[in-house]
Amino acid sequence: MRRLLSLLLDRRLQIVLVACFSLVAALTVGLNALAVSQVIRDYLETAETDLVARDMDLANAFYGLKLDEVAAISYRLALDPWVNDALPDAIRDRPDAQRLIDQQITNKITVLSLGGTHVIAVLDARGNIVVGRVISAENELLPMLTSGSLAGLPIVEEVLATGEPQAATEIAPAELLQQVGLDDQALIALVDTPRAMPEPFDPREGTAGLALMGVRPLTGDDGRVVGAVLSAHLLNNDFTLVDRIKEVAGVDTVTIFFGDMRVSTNVMTEHEERAVGTRISEDVYQRVLLQGLDYVGRAYVVDKWYITRYEPLRSYTGDVVGSIYVGALESGLRSLSTSMSNQVALIALVSIVLAGVIAIPVSRVILRPIAELVRANQRVAQGDMTARVHPRGQGELAVLGRTFNSMVEALQETQQKLLRAFENMAETLQETQKELLQKEKLASMGQLAAGVAHELNNPLGTILLYSNVVFKETPEKDPHRDDLERVIAETNRCKSIVRNLLDFARQNQIMARPTDLNDLLRRMAEEQAPNPKFKNVRLALELDPEVPDIQADPLQLQQVFINLMENGAEAMESKGGGTLTITTRLAPLGQGVRISVADQGTGISEENRAKLFNPFYTTKPLGKGTGLGLAIVYGIVKMHRGQIQVQSEEGKGTTFTITLPLKLSGMPPTSEVGFGTI
């Protein structure tokens, strides 16, 4: 370094200045380029990790919806009176009873238009197949099953033993799959995979199947378990779920693992084939399968590096049986990062060259007194941008002095511009992040709502359109005209159910603030009094003035009380009216507030009370309700961490009692907070 400085100082002053100016510019621009490149890489890595986390949330949502769909089939069949009535005769191998149950199974699965491989079976108390059906991956309905046993499935044994329904991801052994004709589909050859463990996680991998299962008990009149309904979706070599997640949610790659083996995936090999049979990498194996924890980060997938997220899949007992994966190719991130780094490097190189070029003419006009220039330069080096030299005369040194002054002014202006630019960039980045976050939230909600609208509203709209057309073209005396009117009415009712279903699905957040229950109930009573439903109803308010303010969402509580008041008014219609009494009081031991809504209607039977808060359950005449009102009431009360009880006596009336805490735990009494709990 000393030899270099000595060599420069021995040269002309112009060479020294050019070299020094270029060196300073190179260091400054180079360091800035490195810093900018690192910031870009860090930002891209963070963005990619956030994207994978969002993808996993969407994948879990679709996976959960599919499990709910599978469980709902067993639920509907278990509640079907035809199935329950025909079960004893079907167990005795009577063909007419078997055909009746098979017809109910066929009706349920064809109406739902299931995608993928499904097994639906009605079992006796020992787990033997009474009647069953299999839908292939091509949506083909295979012949009826009337023999075989599924008693070897732990989830079936649990339901038959306890009478409690179950829904989970389970392993179906090969011998059980063979009984329903799905052993060939479940068969997967293990593929030697780099970075995988020497031995499989589960020795049954390759022959057994991974399936979403829902099992619900069938009970006799005495309450004993007489059988069960099993519904299952086999995931081995079935790609409907992973492809739907990729298509609808926009997820790059999705995989479902049985143990450490891929059984359903859209990850492709180098031969453009699905990587079924390949295995999970060792580091993911240790964390996800052995420790039961999530894995987030870089992982080797089949033959490439991905930015990934893995989460364990558990059986109904909580044991890890596999995992679900989402990921994006790391090479895409690297190529983008490399491209931007190259651009930064190119800009830095051009800046350095320009700095050197500019230094040459500047150095030619250096005619400033050296001492004054050194002092001024020292002040500038200390950060004093007000430093100036005082050139005298018109010689070369004077020109150098004025040039120095110009340079300092330019540096000062550039510094101010950079500060303003950085401030603007910070504000822009903050706004952009907010917009991106909001768009992601809206996109997630929009995708789910669009799915419901596409799957239900569009077909219902088509049915309604063509029914109206046919109705208008049908003569008034045509015997089918009444049937068409019924079709149109029922279609409109279905569309109303879909709207209520969306309202029910959106109950996921409360905005809590101090709420005066007595004042809220008085205002509601005044607002509802002109309602035609309350024409023959007397509203009686018995409000305890000692009831304090509680922490709650008044809008949602208003929805709860309006629903209960309208139900009470409707219950008294057949009796010509009555008194609807609304009472508030402190709960025992000061643990909350109790609100009671009591009517003098017809009452509710004990059988109906047990199913009162089930979605879509209603005792009203056809077309008078969707059965979602009390389900929404129940959900709102639970979100407020409260309780709801029903007391009813047939012929005398019904009382709904809601108990709400004074304060939502963990929150100060005067805070306003939004959160979801269902």
Question: pLDDT: is 138 or 234 the higher one?
Answer: 234
Whether the Cβ atoms of residue 644 and residue 632 lie closer than 8 Å to each other? no
| Range in 102-106, 267-271, 335-339, 606-610 the model is least confident about | 335-339
284, pLDDT greater than 80: yes
* Mean pLDDT to the nearest integer, 62-81: 92
Q: Are residues 280 and 171 in the same domain?
A: yes
Q: Residue 567 is part of a domain; what is its CATH number?
A: 3.30.565.10
* Mean pLDDT to the nearest integer, 626-647: 83
387, pLDDT greater than 70: yes
Q: Are residues 83 and 121 in the same domain?
A: yes
What whole-number distance in Å separates Cα of residue 304 and Cα of residue 254? 15
Q: Are residues 472 and 551 in the same domain?
A: no
Domain boundary among 445, 480, 506: 506
Longest pairwise C-alpha distance within the chain: 122
228, pLDDT greater than 90: yes
Give residue 200's domain range.
Answer: 50-332
Q: Is residue 10 part of a domain?
A: no
Q: What is the DSSP letter of 457?
A: I
pLDDT at 303: 73
N residues, the chain: 678
Q: Are residues 500 and 512 in the same domain?
A: no
Q: Residue 80 is part of a domain; what is its CATH number?
A: 3.30.450.40
Whether the Cβ atoms of residue 219 and residue 81 lie closer than 8 Å to each other? no
449, pLDDT greater than 60: no
- Residue 446 confidence class, pLDDT cut points 50, 70, 90: very low
- Residue 177 confidence class, pLDDT cut points 50, 70, 90: very high
- In degrees, to the nearest 5, what angle opens at C-alpha 612 toward C-alphas 76 and 601? 140
Q: Are residues 525 and 484 in the same domain?
A: no
Q: Are residues 384 and 522 in the same domain?
A: no
Look at the chain and report how many structural domains it folds into: 3
Whether the Cβ atoms of residue 308 and residue 295 lie closer than 8 Å to each other? yes
Domain boundary among 506, 540, 571: 506
- Residue 369 confidence class, pLDDT cut points 50, 70, 90: low
pLDDT at 445: 41
Question: pLDDT: is 674 or 587 the higher one?
Answer: 587
pLDDT at 100: 93
What whole-number distance in Å separates Cα of residue 188 and Cα of residue 263? 8
pLDDT at 523: 92
- Residue 161 confidence class, pLDDT cut points 50, 70, 90: very high
By percentage, how much of the chain surpasses pLDDT 70? Answer: 77
- Residue 669 confidence class, pLDDT cut points 50, 70, 90: very low
Q: Are residues 494 and 516 in the same domain?
A: no
674, pLDDT greater than 50: no
| Range in 22-36, 200-214, 295-309 the model is least confident about | 22-36
Q: Is residue 357 part of a domain?
A: no
pLDDT at 363: 63
Domain boundary among 490, 506, 522: 506
Question: pLDDT: is 475 or 428 the higher one?
Answer: 475
260, pLDDT greater than 90: yes
495, pLDDT greater than 80: no
650, pLDDT greater than 50: yes
- Residue 447 confidence class, pLDDT cut points 50, 70, 90: very low
Tokens (6 digits) for 599: 């009517």
What whole-number distance in Å separates Cα of residue 565 and Cα of residue 521? 11
Prediction pTM value: 0.48
What whole-number distance in Å separates Cα of residue 664 and Cα of residue 676? 12
367, pLDDT greater than 80: no
pLDDT at 249: 76
269, pLDDT greater than 90: no
Mean pLDDT, the chain, rounded, equals 81
Q: Is residue 43 part of a domain?
A: no
What whole-number distance in Å separates Cα of residue 25 and Cα of residue 342? 19
251, pLDDT greater than 50: yes
What whole-number distance in Å separates Cα of residue 243 and Cα of residue 249? 10
- Residue 670 confidence class, pLDDT cut points 50, 70, 90: very low
pLDDT at 672: 44
Q: Are residues 120 and 101 in the same domain?
A: yes
Q: Is residue 34 part of a domain?
A: no
Question: pLDDT: is 416 or 333 the higher one?
Answer: 416
Q: Is residue 438 part of a domain?
A: yes
Q: Are residues 295 and 186 in the same domain?
A: yes
pLDDT at 213: 96
What 3-state class would DSSP assign to 669?
Answer: coil
Name the residue among 332, 336, 276, 277 with its Cα closest to residue 304: 332
Could you report how far apart the first and last alpha carbons of the chain are, in Å? 70
What whole-number distance in Å separates Cα of residue 557 and Cα of residue 636? 7
- Residue 415 confidence class, pLDDT cut points 50, 70, 90: confident
pLDDT at 464: 77
- Residue 44 confidence class, pLDDT cut points 50, 70, 90: low
656, pLDDT greater than 90: yes
Q: Is residue 370 part of a domain?
A: no
291, pLDDT greater than 90: yes
pLDDT at 231: 95
Q: Are residues 541 and 618 in the same domain?
A: yes
pLDDT digits (tens, 9 = 90+) for 511-565: 889 999 999 999 998 988 888 888 889 999 999 999 999 999 998 899 899 989 9
416, 417, 419, 421: CA torsion to nearest 10: 170
pLDDT at 621: 65
Spatial neighbors of 130 by CB under 8 A, at least 6 apart, are 87, 90, 91, 98, 101, 121, 122, 123, 124, 146, 227
Which segments of 426-549 are extended strands (E)?
510-515, 537-543
Instruction: Tell how far CA 535 is from the center of its chain.
Output: 45
- Residue 115 confidence class, pLDDT cut points 50, 70, 90: confident
pLDDT at 136: 84
Q: Are residues 610 and 579 in the same domain?
A: yes
| Range in 63-72, 243-252, 667-676 the model is least confident about | 667-676
Q: Are residues 596 and 448 in the same domain?
A: no
pLDDT at 501: 59
Please write down the long-range contacts of 32-37, taking CB distance under 8 Å and 24 or more positions apart.
Answer: 32/348, 33/344, 33/345, 33/347, 33/348, 36/344, 37/340, 37/341, 37/344, 37/345
- Residue 506 confidence class, pLDDT cut points 50, 70, 90: low
* Mean pLDDT to the nearest integer, 380-406: 73
* Mean pLDDT to the nearest integer, 594-620: 82
* Mean pLDDT to the nearest integer, 114-134: 91
Question: pLDDT: is 637 or 356 the higher one?
Answer: 637
Q: Is residue 338 part of a domain?
A: no
Q: Is residue 84 part of a domain?
A: yes
pLDDT at 60: 92
